[in-house]
Structure 1
Amino acid sequence: MSSPPVRGLSPVRSTTVAPAGPEAVRRRPAVRYAGVLGVLVALIPIVLVVAAGTGAVWIPPDQIWSVVSARLSAAPVGDALTDQIVWQVRIPRVLLAFLVGAGLAVAGTVLQAVVRNPLADPYVLGVSSGASLAAVGLLTLGTAAGAGLGATIGVSGAAFGGAVLTLALVLLLGRRRGVLDPSRLLLAGVALSYLFQAATTFLQLRVSSNQLAAVLFWLLGTVAGAEWGKLLLPLVLVSASFAWLLGQARRLNALHLGDDAAASLGIDVHRLRLWLLVVAAALTAAVIAVAGGVGFVGLVAPHAIRLLIGADHRKLLPAAALAGGLFLVLADLVGRVVVQPLELPLGVVTAVAGVPFFLILLRRAGGSA
């Protein structure tokens, strides 16, 4: 016999929440990604115009737009000095900084997935050290660098060639039983980096103080020598590499989960890893050749975006590219104005400004987990 209900107490209602459908599950990440991407896209014209107008001579935004519109429409230019400063000096520099930052961020994103190491950056395979050794060798050879092949290819060509040769050595040393092994790739890259850094240091000890200053500035990264003619090659390589890598985003997601998970989906893991490494290293070589050893961008930009929107490479690659480009444009701007009339190398600014920002993001992500 059931006991009578107790007066004054209502029946207990279930507190179980109905499971959300697929649309509700995807809504929040999608909204967050759209918001982050929208902010990054909106910042591009603002940051580029501010960077192009700031320097030893301040140029208002309306004059910058006037110069750009006149150049693009083949109309007569106004003030010749303003036109020269904006169109010949600052805009190529700003665009090159954006391309280099975007390229490094994309390369870092891919390499972190390929080697499954959150500390991986575009320089983890020793590509930067090989490029630096070749470039410094050309810069410190004195009269020998001004003739023959050195005069033909220049510092950028030497850096690109050194990076490509380093990649070939890493791929050769990183094979185990005929296939690429992530651990061996990392070890080979680190070992070659130490070797090439020692050789680069030896070359620096043999030059005068004037040459040493130029060498150190290049090693720490700079876009001071940007010209319209130097934009074509990095633009083509960065655009082509980004388009191809974006097409591999689903495979990158699978590879990020592990070789077994990727193989179970019918992916040829070893072939995919080889092509991803080649494209990421070629992308790194292209931007190093024109800007020197810019550090930290390829590490902080992918991580910062990943903390905000997740690890889906279909979304991560575009957002990381925009974030890396904007970050390096701002770093170059700070380096130009903070200690005028001197100029700071990009590597100094990216480390000083990027590390605290990244640690704040990391702390907030850890606290909200």
Structure 2
Amino acid sequence: MQLKQNKSNKVPGYAGLLLGISLIVYLFSQIDLQGAFERIFSIGFSSVLILAPFLVLHVVETFAWIKVFPPGVTQIPFFPLLRIQLIAETVSMTLPAGVAVGEPLRPYLCKRFIGLPVPESVASVAVRKLMLGAAQGLYTLLGALAGYGFLQTVSGRVIGFDGLGLLMLVSGLAVFLLFMLFLLLLLNGRVAGQLHRFLMLVPFRRVKEWLLEKESGFLDTDQALNSYRGSPSGGRLLAMFYYVVAWFMLTAESYIILSLLGVEISFYQVFAIDIALAMLRSLFFFIPSGLGVQDLGYLLFFQAIGIHDFAADGAAFVLLRRFKEVLWYAFGYGIMFLSGVHLGDAERQEDLET
């Protein structure tokens, strides 16, 4: 698997980081920072509850990932895989265009820490990513159904025209169907070989030489993907359930923070807001952690639904969410460096043979 990134591939990531920083600067010009800190300090020790949903999210995602490994791979150790999950997600969410580094890091770490063959790990990562996308579609559909009336009511004040509830319903259904289609195509067992044949059309001698050297790896990945065919689907259905639960942790986290801040808002309203902003964040995937995009989105929604002193309450909410991320990502990098993993590991193609 080619993991080395060209400098030109990093340009969108740095542009996304710059855009995110610009949005954050604008955000701070719109909020009541003093009022936000007063609300944060009033919470006290209960603020530790804010950390719980993120931990549950990663635990549930790890259980789901175990379920999507090829059928021939058994007895995946949970805690080493949880460590890989935390490291890879930290890299994906914090670096400019971090997904391009964090996702290829997963097979490398599976080989290093668990001793799994690379083709099987690559297959699991591909299936995992598509199932996570399909689960987001289901999560969006459920949120749009639960908060349809609310989304329709605030639509004009949030996006400038009616139909936000309908838009979320259509978006959720479209995302679910699209990712399920990709998943079915992936599991036909011939995708890697077809990709290899397509790449061989590239008119560069060195690229073709590398592809010829790695052809067996592509075929091994196809074989790993082919092992899903005819296997019981119960594990993958359970994985889909786990991934939907993991998405729900975002809503749970938001509701816990707002409840601690004393903001009067219902769970279904929080659910509806979160699915809309999660979809928006997906559109701005090149901005690390949706920096600025979600933050301004929350303020806009809070203003639209008439939350008292939204500039202070909204700012406190945003700051607590971001501070939680700083703590967890610092923990993730701590695990990463204590494990002897370096960012450059994901760019060493000789460490992975596909």
Q: Same fold (TM over 0.5)?
A: no
Q: TM-score, normalised by structure 2?
A: 0.28
Which gives a bigger RCO, structure 1 or 2 (Cα 8 Å, sep 6+)? 2
Q: TM-score, normalised by structure 1?
A: 0.27
Larger Rg, first or second structure (1 or 2) = 1
